[in-house]
Structures are given as C-alpha cells and as structure tokens.
Structure 1
Amino acid sequence: MPPRTYRIGQIVPSSNVTMETEVPAILRARERVAPERFTFHSSRMRMTRVTPEQLRAMDADSDRCAVELSDARVDVLGYACLVALMSAGPGYHRQAQQRLHTRTVDNGAPAPVVTSAGALVEGLRTLGARRIALIAPYLRPLTRTVVDYLTHEGIEVVDYRALEIPDNLEVAAHDPGRLPGLAKGLDHADADAVVLSACVQMPSLSAVEEAEQLLGKPVVSAAVCTVHQILRALELPAFAPGAGRLLSGAYAEGPAGPGSAAARG
C-alpha cells in the first residue's frame, strides 16, 4: 500500500514568502524518515507592511481563504501570521481557529485549523517552558503586543529583542545566520527556552539547531511550532530532523492538535 499523502493548506499574507519555504522544508525532511507524504496549497490575504491597520484588514480576509482551501479538500489548514492574531486581543487565536474551522464545515469539507499564534503557545507549553526569551522582527509596540499576549497565556518573557523592520519583504530578507548571535545577546540565563523567530516571515529554520547548541536549551520558532501542531492536528507523530528539540521526537506524541478528530471527540 502506498504511503498516505496529506494536503497542507496555508493562509498566508500576500507578502509572506517564508512559510511556503520552511513548512515544506521541515515536512520534506520528515518524509526522508517516515512514510507519510505531503503536498502544499496556499491562499493569500493582502498585507505588505506590518502595521495594526493592515493586520486588521488582512485578518478580515481569512474567511475567504479558509473557504478557498477547503475547496481543495485540504487535510489541515494553517493560519500563517502570528502577530495579526495576537494584535487582535488576548486569546484571539482560539476564536480565529474556531471561526475558520466553521467556514470549512459550512463548505462541506471540515478541516482542523492551526494558527501560528496558538502553535507558539502550545509549542512552548509542550516543552514545559514557563519563562522564555524571544526575537521578533516587528516594531517595538507590536513586539510588546506579542510579549503581552504570551504573558496572558501564562508564559513569562524575561527578555526580548525587537528588530523593528516594518516592511514584510525586508523581514523575509533578514539573514538567519545572525539569529544565534542575537539570541546569545539576550538575557536568557533564566529562560526555559528561546524563541528564535516570533514571526512566520522571518527565516530561522537553518539556525535553530545551531542556536540550541550555542545556548544549551530548547530553541523554537513560530514555523517550527506550527509544524508540530499541524502534525498533531493530523494525529501523526510530530517529529522531523533538523528542526530542533520540539520536533526531535521527544514530543512526537501527546494531546491531539486543535480541531483534530480526536480533539473534537
């Protein structure tokens, strides 16, 4: 019997070029050591600058994207913009996940929904990380929004670095090779884990394991956490080589991801 192929749907900002690179890279690495296969499908929401106004307008377009992706009968749907949800208020990722899942149900193609905002929260909880340090590309006020959102979820941010890059394509052009050094400069001694990129647009996958070796503690990114939750939503073991501790296999099993068949009962 041939291995099963899963369709991965992503709702992405129109200027995002990273999640359609890093999510497939992680799952292609998994394909080398596991039988499942994956295809990738996207729908886009208009956004070019990471401002509160553009984020609100973009989020309003996510319902259309969920319907379009459910037309393709995707097996899971990922909302690939962390700060758009976090800037909408504490706990908003849960509301977004339920709303978008309902859109797929109404379209006759129910699919679990993972958001990068919720995935970061769940990934850190999976690691048992109650205190973290993080790097974000956003302007300082939006970075503070991320910090406050995580604090509301019971995760203390002991230090953070805002790179203050407003243009989303410039975020994608940031050199991931700089991130381990930036992470080392954080006050991370009391942190249980470090978030190398609290943004799905800032590339970081190639630097995650280097940063873990440098810091001696778990390092995650929004993209890594999103893949972990996508696999759990599909009720697959959540592991992939080359993506750090969270996907090492140590946390391959556990509670099903949000919206999965098991989670829905």
Structure 2
Amino acid sequence: MTALGFLYPGHSAEDDYPRIEQLLGSDVRLQLVHTDIGEDAHRIDALREMGSAARLSAGVEELRLSGAEAVVWACTSGSFVYGWEGAHEQVRALARAAGLPASSTSFAFAHAAREVGARRVAIAATYPQDVADLFAAFLREAGVEVVSTRASGIITAAEVGTWGETEILELARAGDHPDADAVLLPDTALHTAAHLSALEKDLSKPVLTANQVTVWEALRLADRKVNAPTLGTLFTKEPIIQV
C-alpha cells in the first residue's frame, strides 16, 4: 500500500481525490487534510495568505500520522503566486515540517508537462488575468513555453467548484492554441477527474488538470508509476517524451 498525503484548501473539488483513487485501481491511498483558505478570492494577497506556512503547517501532523509517504500542497494559485524562488521555499518548509518529500501543484504542472513531452502549452485558467499571468511566468521559469493564456475572471473557488463538464469543455476549447502540445487547466477547485478522457478526445492532445497532476506528482515523489488511461495521457505507460 502506498499512502499519499495532500493538503487541500477548502472544500470545492475534494471529491476528485476519491474518484482518482478508484480510477487508479491499485494499492494507492489518497489522504486529504483540508486547510483553512481564509478569504475565498483569486486575488494575489488572499492567495499568498492561503499558502502561508502557518496555514499549511496546521495540517501537517495529521498527514504524518496517516502514514503518508509524500505530501503535496494541492493548490496551484497558492503556490505560484510566490514566484519561482518563493514556491521552492514553500515546498522546502513543507518538507521540513512533514519530514517527508514534498511538492505543490505548480511544480506538478511543470513536471507533468515534461512527462508528456509538452514543450509548448496553452493555459485555460479560471482565474482573473493577473493571476493567470503569474502562472504563465512560473511555467516559463520552469522552462515551459507558454503560447497562450486565457483567463476566465472567476473570483472564488466556490464558484469554480460548481462547474460541470459543459463549462470545463468550453474552458479548454477556448484556451487551446494550435501551437500548443498540451492544454493546462490550473485550478484544484475544478472537478476534472471524471472528464479527462472527454477533454483529450475533444482537443486531440494531452490535457493536464490540477487535481490530476497533483496526484501524479505525489506518486512521482513516492517513486510509483500507475497505468490508468482514464486519467489521461499523463497516466499511460508510455509517456510521450521528447529529446
């Protein structure tokens, strides 16, 4: 049994995790601990507060007692808003507090893009434009070329959590770009686990979504690889790796 720990902000799309656990179809257990988000707002100051060390450390002990082998801060905007160096320091502090390998959803996107061979990506974000632009800047720091960034201007995670397949497909289509090797949907408040096959079929390219890459990142930290095609190209046995 591989136990993986996640610090998840609030209660918007946490049900993606038991769904992903079921779709993995193997001896993997996903343990969520919810962190206090403070103000629910896709605003830079609120996001920085949401990802503060004090809020993250509050859930670490519960994860450690759960037997988790790795921990991921399951929040994209609450990590990349600190910038490249700040996001690294956030993860280092989390690793020290947990005594476990640690990462965040922002780094998961960078690693997942490389795994599927996506040198150029398009961002289809629920965020306001200024927040989406910070994610694009983070990816560029990671060596990923961003060919387009579409922002939806949604302020709260609560609203994002109400979106279904129709809205998610519309978001992905609107954010796609003909030069993009993959499309990224960076919000862990978005329910996407049930729609990954439909997204990739519709766009005819890999689609990386926040909760999907977060779980994959935790598996990577635990040195586990699971073949689960229903979770998209990222979870296939034969990743498309460009050299």
Pairing 1:23-172 to 2, within 5 Å after superposition: 23-31=17-25, 34=26, 36-47=27-38, 48-60=40-52, 61-105=55-99, 111-172=100-161
What code does the residue aligned with 1:17 have? S
- Percent identity over paired residues: 24
What is the match of residue 12 of structure 1?
8
Cα drift, residue 233 of structure 1: 1.5
Matches of 2:123 and 2:63 in 1, distance apart? 32
Unaligned runs of 5+ in 1: 106-110, 253-265
Alpha-carbon displacement from aligned partner over 1:104-158 (angstroms, at most 9, x marks no partner): 23xxxxx221311110110001112111112111111111111111112121221
Alignment length (residue pairs): 237
Which residue of structure 2 aligns with residue 260 of structure 1?
none
Query: Secondary structure of 2:29's partner?
Result: strand
Matched, 1:243 2:231: yes
Secondary structure of the structure 1 residue equivalent to 2:5: strand
Q: Deviations over 1:79-100 (max 9, x none)?
A: 0111111111124332222211
Q: Unpaired runs of 5+ in structure 2?
A: none
Larger Rg belongs to: 1
In 2, the alpha carbon distance for the partners of 1:187 and 1:30 equals 27
Q: How many angstroms apart in 2 are the aligned matches of 1:104 and 1:181? A: 39
Does the aligned pair in 1 maintain the 2:12–2:190 contact within 8 Å?
no
Aligned pairs (5 A) from 1:169-184: 169-184=158-173
Q: Which residue of structure 1 lines up, in the alignment, with residue 195 of structure 2?
A: 207
Give me the CA root mean square deviation: 2.0
Query: Could you tell me how far 1:245 is from its partner in structure 2?
Result: 0.5
Between the aligned partners of 1:93 and 1:23, the Cα distance in structure 2 is 23
CA 1:24–1:241: 2 relative to 1, 3 Å: farther
Task: Report the TM-score, using the length of structure 2 for normalisation.
Answer: 0.89
